[in-house]
């Protein structure tokens, strides 16, 4: 009899080869608990269905749905939770994997009846040959958040929750949220989770139970818009948290410093097209700042990148190992700088 406590809810789109490895790591651990695995295929055109059918021969509790049309990331998140019928759903991407002992640890924590669980992760190179950061999120010890700690929870973990695999959600509470306001932001999972968890209990597992595969994101070319328009939109919609608190985790306006734009250019998130789309018409931006932003957009990126790498190594801000890895990867790949 399959578990009614936990389901694994995997989102996938055109990543059949990665999905196979993903499913294999789950199957070896969930079998002892009869935990069902739900795979929501966002209208893939590769061999995704064949991979799932092959995995189903190894483990019977795998359930597959292929959307007739691509629902977008947010639509597929909602679809995969809709497929499940357990008390909790562990949301998961198709290209990451779990560490040995992860399922046993999660099942143990779930017995305490928390309403939302966050799981730390390690980050790796695309082929998992190189560890980038053993513990991606810097909170080093397990942490319980009571109903009175909602603001602290938001401050500590809302940014980490952008990684969809970090979340195990209570399906009943999830389904009570009017999620439509978060659609087309790419962060429906964050919005719904932090809306329902206010004044409820959450738990953070500090020991990494997930291996994240880097250099495999499909959204990198749109990162400026994602983090400066869509992410703030999602955060703005979450009720119950003050604007001051939200400003600490997301940009609530389009005001940038020269230093911030220099960093965005060095990372490859800012160029002339971004300047034209977001900053050239900004009514609150002074003429002198617009000129500075234009000059930065026209500056060869490699010049700024070297200075930014030096800055990261000296200051070591949160998440700097990930940024350094991304920059070093681009150098090794000899990507053209524009």
Give the SS3 label for residue 219: coil
What pTM, to 2 d.p., does this model score? 0.93
Query: Do 163 and 307 fall into the same domain?
Result: no
Using CB atoms within 10 Å of the CB of residue 333, give its burial: 0 to 12 exposed, 13 to 18 middle, 19+ buried. Answer: exposed
**How many Å apart are CA 234 and CA 267, to the nearest integer?**
23
Q: Are residues 169 and 315 in the same domain?
A: no
The pLDDT of residue 175: 98
The stretch 189-209 carries a mean pLDDT of 98
How remote is the C-alpha of 235 from its chain's centroid? 14
pLDDT digits (tens, 9 = 90+) for 125-144: 999 999 999 999 999 999 99
pLDDT at 123 over 50: yes
* Pairwise CA distance, residues 313 & 320, whole Å: 8
Cα(171)–Cα(150) distance, integer angstroms: 19
Q: Please give the pLDDT value at position 337.
A: 30
187 plus 258 within the same structural domain? no
Q: Classify residue 338: in a domain, yes or no.
A: no
d(CA 184, CA 207): 32
pLDDT, tens digit, 9 for 90 and up, residues 228-276: 999 999 999 999 999 999 999 999 887 899 999 999 999 889 999 999 9
Q: Are residues 197 and 296 in the same domain?
A: no
Closest listed residue to residue 209, CA positions, set 148, 166, 247, 147: 166
* Mean pLDDT of the region 96-120: 97
Closest by CA to 216, choosing from 97, 90, 109, 312, is: 97
| Lowest-pLDDT choice from 3-7, 87-91, 207-211, 331-335 | 331-335
- Identify the band that residue 336 occupies on the pLDDT scale cut at 50, 70 and 90: very low
By the 10 Å C-beta count (0-12 exposed, 13-18 middle, 19+ buried), 122 is classed as middle
CA distance 310 to 69: 45
Q: Are residues 271 and 324 in the same domain?
A: yes
Q: Given the structure tokens 């990372």, which residue do they identify?
A: 267
State how far the alpha carbon of 278 is from the alpha carbons of 63, 169, 283, in Å.
43, 35, 11
**Residue 65 token pair:** 């749905």
> Which residues touch 16 (CB under 8 Å, ≥6 apart)?
44, 46, 47, 48, 50, 51
| DSSP-assigned letters across all residues of 133-151 | ESSSSS--S-EEE-GGGHH
CB 133, CB 210: distance < 8 Å = no
Distance CA 61, CA 146 (A): 34
Residue 234 in any domain: the answer is: no
Q: What integer is the mean pLDDT of 96-119?
A: 97
Report if residue 244 sits inside a domain. Answer: no
Phi-psi region of 43 (alpha: psi -120 to 50; beta: other; left: phi over 0): left
Residues 175 and 263 in one domain: no
Q: What is the mean pLDDT of the chain?
A: 93
Residue 255: exposure state from Cβ atoms within 10 A (0-12, 13-18, ≥19): exposed
The band of 330, judged by pLDDT with boundaries at 50, 70 and 90, is low
The structural domain count of the chain equals: 2
Q: How confident is the model at residue 285 (pLDDT cuts 50, 70, 90)?
A: confident
Residue where a domain stops, chosen among 160, 182, 213:
213
How high is the pLDDT of residue 317? Answer: 85
* Length of the chain in terms of residues written: 338
Using CA atoms, how far residue 320 sits from 126, 200, 272, in Å, is 18, 32, 25
Picking from 162, 185, 213, the residue at the C-terminal end of a domain is 213
> Which domain does 271 fall in, by range?
253-333
The confidence score (pLDDT) of residue 165 equals 98
pLDDT greater than 60 at residue 10: yes
Q: What CATH number did the domain enclosing 16 receive? A: 3.90.550.10
- 20 and 159 within one domain: yes
In a domain, 39, yes or no: yes
73-95 pLDDT, tens digit per residue, is 999 999 999 999 999 999 999 99
Residue 82 lies in a domain: yes
Does 28 share its domain with 90?
Answer: yes
Same domain, 185 and 264: no
Residues 96 and 203 in one domain: yes
32 and 80 inside one domain: yes
pLDDT digits (tens, 9 = 90+) for 20-78: 999 999 999 999 999 999 999 999 999 999 999 999 999 999 999 999 999 999 999 99
The answer to whether position 272 is within a domain reads yes
Residues 205 and 290 in one domain: no
Domain membership flag for residue 285: yes
Neighbours of 22 (CB within 10 A): 26
Which has the closest alpha carbon to 130: 314, 335, 324, 337?
A: 324
> Of 213, 230, 262, which residue constitutes the final position of a domain?
213
- What is the pLDDT at residue 304? 93
Determine, yes or no, domain membership for 129.
yes
**Measuring CA to CA, which residue among 132, 133, 30 is closest to residue 90?**
30
């Amino acid at each position: 009899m399959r578990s009614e406590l936990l389901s694994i809810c995997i989102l996938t789109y055109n990543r059949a080869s990665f999905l196979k490895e993903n499913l294999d790591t789950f199957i070896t651990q969930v079998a002892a608990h009869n935990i069902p695995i739900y795979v929501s295929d966002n209208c893939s055109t590769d061999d995704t269905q064949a991979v799932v059918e092959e995995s189903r021969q190894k483990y019977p509790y795998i359930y597959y749905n292929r959307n007739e049309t691509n629902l977008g990331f947010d639509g597929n998140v909602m679809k995969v939770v809709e497929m499940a019928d357990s008390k909790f759903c562990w949301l998961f991407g198709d290209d990451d994997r779990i560490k040995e002992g992860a399922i046993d640890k999660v099942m143990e924590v779930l017995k305490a009846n928390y309403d939302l669980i966050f799981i730390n992760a390690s980050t790796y190179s695309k082929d998992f040959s190189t560890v980038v950061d053993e513990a991606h999120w810097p909170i080093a010890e397990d942490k319980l958040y009571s109903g009175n700690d909602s603001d602290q929870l938001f401050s500590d973990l809302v940014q980490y929750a952008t990684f969809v695999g970090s979340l195990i959600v209570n399906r009943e509470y999830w389904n009570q949220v009017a999620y439509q306001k978060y659609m087309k932001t790419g962060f429906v999972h964050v919005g719904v989770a932090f809306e329902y968890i206010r004044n409820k209990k959450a738990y953070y597992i500090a020991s990494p139970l997930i291996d994240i595969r880097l250099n495999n994101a499909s959204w990198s070319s749109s990162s400026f818009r994602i983090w400066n328009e869509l992410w703030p939109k999602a955060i703005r919609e979450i009720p119950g948290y003050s604007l001051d608190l939200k400003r600490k985790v997301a940009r609530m306006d389009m005001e940038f410093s020269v230093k911030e734009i220099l960093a965005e250019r060095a990372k490859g998130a800012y160029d002339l097209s971004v300047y034209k789309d977001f900053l050239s018409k900004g009514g609150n931006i002074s003429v002198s700042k617009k000129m500075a932003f234009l000059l930065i957009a026209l500056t060869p990126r490699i010049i700024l990148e070297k200075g930014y790498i030096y800055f990261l190594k000296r200051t070591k801000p949160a998440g700097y190992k990930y940024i350094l890895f991304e920059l070093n990867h681009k150098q090794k790949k000899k990507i053209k700088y524009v």
